[in-house]
Structure 1
């Protein structure tokens, strides 16, 4: 049968043969709401144990902000690596023509979403490559991706291209993370439509904060047009608590977004830049560094 979270209304499929006590406390994987499920008199009204409760979709997360230089790619890579270290099956999607995520993982001249749409590969799974890190795969980007915007932007329902292709493989992953360019256009719209969660990285500066509000406005419009619930949360990045102006803007972000702000804050860390130079996630380059621990904390916050 199916049980439904009392708070966010997410539905969970359960198996009839997994019976236990007359009642059990469970936690929603999506919103972390805890509630009690009671076993009814009929077998079809049984429930699943907490550790066996899974949503009937993969968590697809777009990392987006119209402002550049706010650690979108850094967050995609290091959050993905942290989730993979927790044993989650993770797919990273580089949806930026600059292909920085692809380069950081040491790939060049690979197939990308361009080949998926133009017939260079039979399906999206053939374009996915395994990284050298356990549980971490990548759908790379390439310079050819720039041609997609010109070809498909004027077509009806172009914003559903990624979502429709991704549905054929996303059940193979626990989390799909999509890195987006610093603009609202073909690639970002496809990522937002495909996602059921959006992380908006923001540094503590005015223009970045303005980009956060723009993403929130766009997501609210998308919710109505595609009739899909999308969770949107702000992540403070590259934070320097010694800087007075950053502390002021950080407080402003907390006041404005409250429950839609991650508790985890990613601070400035020189080890992060070093990890980029050696093409490695921070958790594999400097596991005990503050940034590594913070991204692991963020992963735990997302998983609950």
Structure 2
């Protein structure tokens, strides 16, 4: 269960079996405030709350890999849906000119970040769309996004355009997930600068691993200029039946260790079927292997 200090509003996750009475007196680890949680007979003894939940952890997540075909957009969508199904308020940001994420959510001819920077709309809230899925919204993309690179690439601090705009609405969402193109340039740099966590999806093949290395090197550079960003590697479309994939999987685990997501997304025909009918996998077949794995990934990232 979740307990919130009535003084400093710090939140804690507490195992249900700890509060084994009608109520329990507790003490906040952060402000030392003592308060009672469902207790009829106050006692001098109190349970010290220490395992603080930070609401800012992993608030903005960017999906990125220079290599295409690694389930980047698929992972962005299905992780967002999985978080939304946990009751999290989630915003998806389609920051790819191809607008695949926008199309997967059933939208066409939408306004985008381009219209915002071009001052055709006043606020970023004006271009955010509510999807048909509970707790899930979208900042869409369109073909005009291609003009942003030409117009702003030479501008000083162009890489902060997205971050500065998301700061206006960041507190309205539990998580913001950004989808990026399969390249390292204007859009990807903006998305990396905006993020607190970067997830790098990779299949178990050489070229995809190379893309992971490039993203990790860029993140090291960003850390060198005081941008605090973490990254996690996510193995996708894994087929344990193939010897080559098992070998590369082991190499990835040795190389990245704790930087690797515990959850692995396996190859699943149900995922391809969900694309055909234009549905997230959780709404196409929530009992499928990939649906359960994306839900597990959501629990892993959300703590």
Deviation at 1:279, TM superposition (A): 1.2
Q: Deviations over 1:118-172 (max 9, x none)?
A: 0111111111000000000000000000000000001000000000000001111
Q: Deviations over 1:228-279 (max 9, x none)?
A: 2211000000000000000000000000000000010001111111111111
Structure with higher Rg: it is: 2
Q: Deviations over 1:64-90 (max 9, x none)?
A: 000000011000000000000000000
The number of equivalent residue pairs is 276
Distance 1:242 1:179 in 2: 30
Contact 1:239–1:265, Cα closer than 8 Å, also in 2: yes
Q: Structure 2 vs 1, CA of residues 103 and 261 (structure 1 numbering), >3 Å: closer, same or farther? A: same
Distance 1:140 1:18 in 2: 34
Distance 2:173 2:111 in 1: 20
Match of 2:89 in 1: 89
Deviation at 1:57, TM superposition (A): 6.9
Distance 2:58 2:275 in 1: 28
Match of 2:29 in 1: 37
User: Which of the residues 1, 16, 24 maps onto 2:7?
Assistant: 16
3-state SS of 1:164 partner: helix
Gaps of 5+ in 1: 1-12, 28-35
CA RMSD of aligned residues (A): 2.6
Contact 1:94–1:179, Cα closer than 8 Å, also in 2: yes
Match of 1:191 in 2: 191
Distance 1:50 1:105 in 2: 40
Distance 2:75 2:81 in 1: 10
Deviation at 1:14, TM superposition (A): 7.0
Distance 2:156 2:247 in 1: 44
3-state SS of 1:264 partner: coil
Distance 2:57 2:242 in 1: 41
Q: Structure 2 vs 1, CA of residues 300 and 109 (structure 1 numbering), >3 Å: closer, same or farther? A: same
Deviation at 1:55, TM superposition (A): 3.1
Deviation at 1:15, TM superposition (A): 5.8
Matches within 5 A, 1:130-279: 130-225=130-225, 227-279=226-278
Distance 2:110 2:49 in 1: 42
Match of 1:10 in 2: none
Distance 1:124 1:58 in 2: 21
Gaps of 5+ in 2: 16-27, 36-47
3-state SS of 1:61 partner: strand
Match of 1:7 in 2: none
Q: Structure 2 vs 1, CA of residues 84 and 234 (structure 1 numbering), >3 Å: closer, same or farther? A: same
Q: Structure 2 vs 1, CA of residues 109 and 41 (structure 1 numbering), >3 Å: closer, same or farther? A: closer
Contact 2:162–2:191, Cα closer than 8 Å, also in 1: yes
Distance 1:41 1:300 in 2: 30
Deviation at 1:50, TM superposition (A): 6.9
TM, length-normalised to structure 1: 0.85
